[in-house]
Amino acid sequence: MTDKTSKRIRIFDTTLRDGEQTPGASLTADDKMEIARQLSKLGVDTIEAGFPSSSEGEKKVVKDIAKEGLTSEICALSRATKGDIDAAIECDVDLVHVFIPTSPVQMKYAVNLTPEQVLSATIESIEHVKKHGVKCEFSPMDATRSEMPFLKIVCQAAEKAGMDSLNVPDTVGIMIPKTTIKLIEELRTVVKVPISTHCHDDFGLAVANSLAAVEAGATQVHVAVNGLGERAGNASLEEVVMALHEIYKYKTGVNTRLLYSTSRMVASLTGIGVQANKAIVGENAFAHESGIHTRGVTEKPLTFEPIKPELVGRTRKLVAGKLAGTSGIKAELEEIDIHPTEEQLKEIVQRVKELGDKGKMVTDADLLALSSSVIGQVIREEKIVDLADIAVMTGIKVIPTASVRLTLDGKEYIAAETGVGPVDAVLKAIQKLTNNLENIRLSEYRLEAITGGSNAVAEVIIKVADEKGNVVSARAAREDIVMASVEAMINGINKLLIKNRKQGNKK
């Protein structure tokens, strides 16, 4: 485990195990493999690939991941039973993670075992793993609600049986940093093996508790990308890693520049989105709207950014809105090569604020249109992507299907997709092309009816993002929802490509 002198903390990733237990998350075998490859590239020390005894399919995926030759160590989860351990070992993993509850409530109601039975199962199962020459991490599940004398007995017996590391799960997330420090310090007096933590976020304290455990001497943390996991989730990988690097000045093996792309991949494959205000990977984590902030960050980023967005694979975003200031809007316009005079800029800011005051979100496309009318010239809308044709089919017995023909840099591409409805199908077909060609995907979709009735005008507001973390918003309003969606999407993609290419030219 960690060499304490260099303070290198091991990152044990459980996105593919506890993370997959997130209600609503579902991953295919291919998805799991894709995420495992990315996690290894990211540099996590251990990938908990799954729970082999849970199904034949799961066993096969864990085995395939173990065979993939990844740099990260591959781990399989196992209950403290011979059958589970054998299933894990058959997957040829580097590490078996054995768990059994030690709290009174879980021993009685979750597994119906007496403390004596828990103790002997602990010893027998760790010995069984070690007999196969495989490394074993042991977790006394619900450690934080266990009675200390019994917990100590189990941990000591586990060490004697050969466990290589002790993981301390805060299974229902009831710790605070102070109690975490006390617990880890106390366990360090009874075992010599490296200590790890596994914190759940039921009270939003998983990251703080994981860091507290490190302060108390834990040398490994269990984390999951985007904080996925049972109920409120596990400690978030990106938050723990960045706090360790930037606040504690500790090292991990993680290449932080891949954090954002990893987060996006996991969000898109699990179908669990990331809240906009989430630290490090949320859409707003490096976005600034209010005048004083945008002015500050454009003059000196350190004013309102604790870290450079590039460090985590992102870019800064200045947002136009009612709180926006002149310098922020000026910088935003300059990014897309628009240089208004001082008078024009004043007027643009005024109009942005008026829109914001009406409760309207000011999209990037709005800013462009507004500037265009103030400057008195139509700002030439570059069209890198143009829609050539779409065909949509839907019905009671027909799976909604869409085919799209579009041009990108003058070259024609065609894609077809199915979806839960016509809008879904058509947007998926467009994304299939733009994702493959330019790594652009839809990050938000909002539909609003502007007028009532069956011929209501539908307003669609979308956000599209690229792998560098650039996000662009656009809107379109039409009576036909499908066409409004397509128009907003194509609009957004064009804005993003223009921005992207301008950034590329500046380098």
Q: CB of residue 127 vs ligand KIV: minimum separation in angstroms?
A: 20
Selected from 19, 52, 169, 328, the binder of ligand KIV by CB under 6 A is: 169
With 0-12 CB in 10 A as exposed, 13-18 as middle and 19+ as buried, what is 421?
middle
Task: For residue 227, state whether it binds ligand KIV (rule: CB under 6 A).
Answer: no
Of 278, 142, 262, 193, the closest CA to residue 10 belongs to: 193
Selected from 12, 99, 260, 286, the binder of ligand KIV by CB under 6 A is: 99
Q: Is-contact 456 479, C-beta < 8 A? A: yes
Tell me whether residue 18 or residue 289 sits nearer to Zn ion (CB atom): 18
Q: CB of residue 197 vs Zn ion: minimum separation in angstroms?
A: 11
Q: CB of residue 161 vs ligand KIV: minimum separation in angstroms?
A: 18
Task: For residue 198, state whether it binds ligand KIV (rule: CB under 6 A).
Answer: yes
Of 285, 189, 190, 184, the closest CA to residue 236 belongs to: 285
Q: CB of residue 98 vs Zn ion: minimum separation in angstroms?
A: 14
**Pairing status of strand 401-408 against strand 411-418:** antiparallel
* # residues near Zn ion by CB under 5 A: 1
User: Which of the stretches 12-20, 90-98, 152-160, 286-294 binds Zn ion when contact is defined by CB under 5 A?
Assistant: 12-20
Of 313, 282, 288, the closest CA to residue 301 belongs to: 288
Tell me whether residue 18 or residue 164 sits nearer to Zn ion (CB atom): 18
Other C-beta atoms lying within 10 Å of the C-beta of residue 491: 25
Q: CB of residue 234 vs ligand KIV: minimum separation in angstroms?
A: 8
Selected from 22, 72, 103, 139, the binder of ligand KIV by CB under 6 A is: 139
* # residues near ligand KIV by CB under 6 A: 8
Give the position of tokens 């001082």: 342
Q: CB of residue 167 vs ligand KIV: minimum separation in angstroms?
A: 6
Helix ranges, 82-147 (H)? 82-89, 104-109, 115-131
Q: Which parts of 50-89 interact with ligand KIV (CB under 6 A)?
A: none
Task: For residue 315, state whether it binds ligand KIV (rule: CB under 6 A).
Answer: no
- Residue 232 vs residues 19, 110, 118, 148, 236: alpha-carbon distances, Å: 10, 20, 27, 26, 11
How many helices, marked H, and strands, marked E, lie in the chain?
16, 16
Give the containing element (helix H, strand E) for 95: strand 95-101
Contact residues for 471 (Cβ-Cβ < 8 A; gap 6+) = 283, 287, 317, 443, 463, 464, 465, 496
Selected from 2, 9, 15, 18, the binder of Zn ion by CB under 5 A is: 18
- Residue 78 vs residues 102, 129, 394, 466: alpha-carbon distances, Å: 16, 10, 46, 38
> What is the pattern of x (binds ligand KIV, CB under 6 A) and - over residues 4-43?
--------------x-------------------------
User: Could you list the residues that contact ligand KIV (CB under 6 A)?
Assistant: 18, 99, 139, 141, 169, 171, 198, 200
User: Could you list the residues that contact Zn ion (CB under 5 A)?
Assistant: 18
